[in-house]
Amino acid sequence: MTARDVLRTLRVTELPELLRSTFVAARMELWLRRAPLDAVAGRMGARLCLRAAPETGTAALALTAAERARLGTARRVTRHWPFGDTCLRRSLMTAYHLRDREPELYVGVAKKDGEVTAHAWLVVDGVNLDPTGSAQFQTLEKAGSRAR
pLDDT over 90 at 143, yes or no: no
Provide the pairing of β-strand 47-49 with 104-112.
parallel
- Structure confidence at residue 148 (pLDDT): 37
Distance CA 57, CA 35 (A): 33
Question: Quick one: CA dihedral 78, 80, 83, 84, positive or negative?
Answer: positive
Per the structure, the complete domain to which residue 130 belongs is given by 3-146
- Structure confidence at residue 7 (pLDDT): 60
- The structural domain count of the chain equals 1
pLDDT over 90 at 35, yes or no: yes
- Structure confidence at residue 146 (pLDDT): 45
- Structure confidence at residue 10 (pLDDT): 62
Split at pLDDT 50, 70, 90, the class of 47 is very high
On average, the pLDDT of the chain sits at 85
- Structure confidence at residue 6 (pLDDT): 59
- Structure confidence at residue 126 (pLDDT): 87
- Residue 28 and residue 93 in contact, taking contact as beta carbons nearer than 8 Å: yes
76-97 confidence digits (pLDDT tens) = 888 888 888 899 999 999 999 9
Quickly count: other Cβ atoms within 10 Å of residue 44's Cβ.
Answer: 22
- Structure confidence at residue 15 (pLDDT): 78
Q: What is the mean pLDDT of residues 111-138?
A: 88
